[in-house]
Amino acid sequence: MKGLSVLVVGGGAGLGAEIVPMAVAEGATAIGIVDRDGDAAKRALEPAVSAGLPCHAATADIGTKDAASAAFDEVVRAIGRVDTLVNCAAIYPRRPILEISDEEWDASNAINVKGTYHMMVAAVRHMREQAARDHVRGRIVNITSVDAFKAHPGNAHYAATKAAVASLTRSFADEVAPDGILINSVAPAAMATEKAKQAGFLPELAAASRLGRAATPGEIAEWVLMTGGPKNTYMTGENIIVSGGYIYA
């Protein structure tokens, strides 16, 4: 990530919070976070603060276009630019398929799909201007899930939103390729975040991996940074499955 300014949406906890210190360690020059939990976002920025980097945490509900655009612009004003956008924000409500309410569908779509879409739109507009002005290739990495590609009873609405994000990734990547903007997604299987540990379903999912364990957030973050960093110069529109053998592409 050397020389790049990075914005992590949903960076207050879980995978997003793991990406921040790793990006700092790899040479990122500025860090931004957008999260619903402003206090968590500020805590997650501590590695950037300690390194003396320009950084900023914006508090927003990205389920609306205006709020997402305003949050993106707020970060740009604070840190100067965004070279790499990582979309980690998502909710993971588990519910039997016949019991999912309209409210649960709407909440999942608002954050997981619309929120990702709104942040991508804001980023593409910004990155197109940068590409025209500075000839710098922007990069966007979306977090999908193996649930988008393998049936997972009790999680249909989440799986549907992640399949939608995979589709958005391909559509955006195809449309902005002439601008030099590279857009990909990373699909983890079971990941040992604090929230997953507390929810109680992690042992079952971890046992389904051929490696017999869940991934650490850092193991997934490595792929996110590779995909969104300067070493990726040619891959776009792809979904990288990092599942420990839970599924194979």
Q: Is residue 15 within a helix (H) or strand (E), and if so which, with residue range?
A: helix 14-25
Cα separation, 21 vs 90, in Å, equals: 20
Cα separation, 35 vs 62, in Å, equals: 8
Cα separation, 91 vs 110, in Å, equals: 10
C-beta of residue 3 within 8 angstroms of C-beta of residue 27: yes
C-beta of residue 169 within 8 angstroms of C-beta of residue 183: yes
Among the listed residues 158, 234, 246, 248, the single catalytic one is 158
Cα separation, 194 vs 214, in Å, equals: 12
Looking at the chain, how many residues does it have? 249
Which whole-number Å values give the CA distances from 203 to 19, 114, 152, 165, 246, in the listed order?
24, 31, 15, 26, 13
- 248 tagged catalytic: no
Report how far Cα 24 is from the mean position of its chain's Cα atoms: 17
C-beta of residue 185 within 8 angstroms of C-beta of residue 165: yes
Residues labelled catalytic: 158
